[in-house]
Amino acid sequence: MSSSKHQSQDDSMPQTSPPLSTILPPLICGTATFNNQYNPDPYALPTTAIVHEALSLGVRAFDTSPYYGPAEDLLGAALNTSFVRDNFPRRDYFLLTKVGRISGDGFDYSASWVRHSVQRSLERLHTKYLDVVYCHDVEFVSPEEVLIAVMELRKIRDKSGLLRYVGISGYPVTTLCELAEMILEKTGEPLDAVMSYANYTLQNTRLASVALPRLEAAGVSVVPNASVLGMGLLRREGVPIGAHGDFHPSPKELRAAIQDASDWCDKQNIKDNRIEKVAIRWALENWMREGASVGSSGDPASGIPWQRENIERYGGAKLGVSVMGVSNTEELHETMMVWRSILDGLEGGEKTAIDSGRGTDERARSLQRQQDVNVLATGIRKVLGKWVDYTWASPDPGFVNKRSAPDVPAPLPTPAASPDGLPKQALTREGSHLKSVRQI
């Protein structure tokens, strides 16, 4: 890992680049929801309020992509405010973005496009450096193209310091493993991060059963788990419908099985029994433990106000990293209640709860909720039956990359300021006030 020559200032890159697993926060705010794939009008979302409130609640990492419509612009606009500049120095939060995917059927992993994409992300996010850059949805291009993009990103890292860590992301876990192994073999340097989505959920745990041993052996530092609801599949009301209509790749038979599982949950005499509530808690809690070997020891967002933390406070163990996306501040608060309840249930969680002001009884509540969720999760997976660990094809058979030339796309409209008004109420325990949780 190279070291940066830049001076350590608030808006420039820190002097050293330690292993990503020692500094990345284990909870990352995803911005795929800042996109018309998940929401009819992303400009109508309170994105500035979400980002500001996330920072105020201790979240210290944001994941985005040029492919997520206006997400980079919206995130950048929220960060480029006096509230953030005055309270959160750039060195105190992480920005993760991606290169390579341009559209649903367009990919460009060429060195020239990688350089263009990195520069564009820097401008959109109003930052002098990016903490992590992934090659986006690597299964859609050849291994040779992925290798070219990874090597170009590393060249940018080493020569200009415009980015710190390099990774890949995608859906099929076997492809991710093969590419991580190939990159280590060809370059002698392991990937810093491999992000998988929809592969550690109530419905599908192949990220742990299939990928984890191989990614560890390939020397990957961190494996974030994204989309704990399977791109919105694990919801009582079904998959999200955005401006592009029904985009979800799951077959109708799987959707029907999920609906049966949701109906079964509704009949159980257990509090907070909606399938999405169970799925979120189960995935966050279990990946926190099962993904710890490829996890991180950065700031855990435990709720101790305005204090930079790391996992050493909780005994030094790493925690599995999760990416959670929200569409409003209510969902953000719900997520943080769940996350902090899980932290309270860890060994030493009593002190965490007391120091954060949540009280002495939170560990007992957390362990009871863990027990309830495990009962419901066991029942859900029994109802799903043959659909447990089912995966859909990615890409579809016969896919053709329609990206023919490295055209520079037209700029997106400048996003208007999103609604402010940040709720300041303290989080006390895992809530049940939401009627609909739309996290992905």
Active site residues: 68
- CA nearest neighbour of 233 among 195, 275, 194, 266: 275
- CA nearest neighbour of 424 among 325, 305, 247, 291: 305
Query: What's at 201, amino acid-wise?
Result: T
CA geometry: angle 110, 116, 120, nearest 5 deg: 140
Chain CA centroid to CA 156, Å: 24
- HSE-up (13 A, CA, CB side) for residue 387: 23
- Taking each continuous run of H as one helix and of E as one strand, the counts in the chain are 13, 10
Q: Using DSSP, state whether 126 is helix, strand or coil.
A: coil
Exposed / middle / buried, residue 189 (Cβ in 10 Å: 0-12, 13-18, 19+): middle
Q: Is the separation of the CB atoms in 74 and 415 below 8 Å?
A: yes
Q: Is the separation of the CB atoms in 338 and 430 below 8 Å?
A: yes
Distance CA 339, CA 341 (A): 5
Q: Which two tokens stand for residue 14?
A: 């820190």
Provide long-range contacts, Cβ within 8 A and 24+ apart, for 395-399.
395/139, 395/140, 396/249, 399/105, 399/140
Inter-axis angle of helices 329-344 and 275-290, nearest 10: 50
